[in-house]
Amino acid sequence: MSLKNSINIENLPQHIAIIMDGNGRWAKKQGLLRALGHENGTKSVRTVVESCAKLGIANLTLYAFSTENWNRPSLEVKTLMKLLITSLEKELPTLQKNNIRLNAIGNLELLPESAQNQLLDVIEKTKENKKMVLTLALSYGSREEIVSMVKTISNKVKNNIISIDNIDELIINQHLYTQNLPDVDLLIRTSGEHRISNFLLWQIAYAELYFTDVLWPDFKEDDLHEAIISYQKRERRFGKTSEQIK
């Protein structure tokens, strides 16, 4: 029986976020260059994106490139940026076919101009799509996002745009990169690592965490379904007791 048949469509996570880890280790195991690991990782991206759209997941956020990734060898960074550009161009028809809108979060100004232009082009061409929002976290770091939010709100308080007494979770959410996205319900990390790695620290406050040893290029539709089934078996209490939930 297909794992998909075990998924309760009435209890889907509305926002799945994925730390796509293990491209380099996958390549090393195959005796290949790291770049080929990243290339093969894009196949898993397409599989997961299309699978989420078919299931009816409203929001999918992928950790594509962190602020810390800028510290990798320059050749690898250049390779990743080229791969980003070609992947955006190549996957546009897939996004259009599946009615998926592209979104991006992070310090995008640090991206090469060619990557920024390609990203903005695909975002513009998919802006009317309604079925799912695919968000790429690029040059993204959650601590940087929070620092930026604090600075922006502080400036608005200083200029009497916001009263300090009115600052609450809603105000904070409105000043994060993810202001138009709901909180994360399910966070998946591949490759056997058990870290959050500076990803959506505010937004995953009540997310269910799912870790798998599968390396990202080997992550297939059944692996996604396993993660969702695990999510659906958990009791989400949000601070309440089991009795209150029932």
Residues 26-75 have pLDDT tens digits of 999 999 999 999 999 999 999 999 999 999 999 999 999 999 999 999 99
**pLDDT at residue 153, rounded to an integer:** 98
What is the pTM (predicted TM-score) of this model? 0.95
Which residues are within 8 A (CB) of 5 and not within 5 positions of it... i.e. 6 or more apart? none
Which residues are within 8 A (CB) of 69 and not within 5 positions of it... i.e. 6 or more apart? 77, 80
Instruction: Pick the closest to residue 80 from 132, 20, 125 (CA basis).
Output: 20
Taking 80 as the threshold, does the pLDDT of residue 237 lie above it?
Answer: no
Work out the average pLDDT over 79-100.
Answer: 97
**Between 130 and 244, whose confidence is greater?**
130
- CB-based burial, 115-136: b 16+ in 10 Å, e otherwise: bbebbeebeeebeebeebbbbb
**pLDDT at residue 246, rounded to an integer:** 64
Taking 70 as the threshold, does the pLDDT of residue 245 lie above it?
Answer: no
> pLDDT grade, residue 103 (50/70/90)?
very high
Taking 60 as the threshold, does the pLDDT of residue 85 lie above it?
Answer: yes
What is the C-alpha to C-alpha distance for residues 28 and 65, in angstroms, rounded to an integer? 20
Using the 8-state DSSP alphabet, how is residue 183 labeled?
A: P
Catalytic residue list: 21, 69
Q: How many CB atoms lie within 10 A of CB 34?
A: 19
Taking 90 as the threshold, does the pLDDT of residue 215 lie above it?
Answer: yes
**pLDDT at residue 1, rounded to an integer:** 53
**Between 25 and 246, whose confidence is greater?**
25
Taking 90 as the threshold, does the pLDDT of residue 18 lie above it?
Answer: yes
Compute the radius of gyration of the chain from its Cα atoms.
19
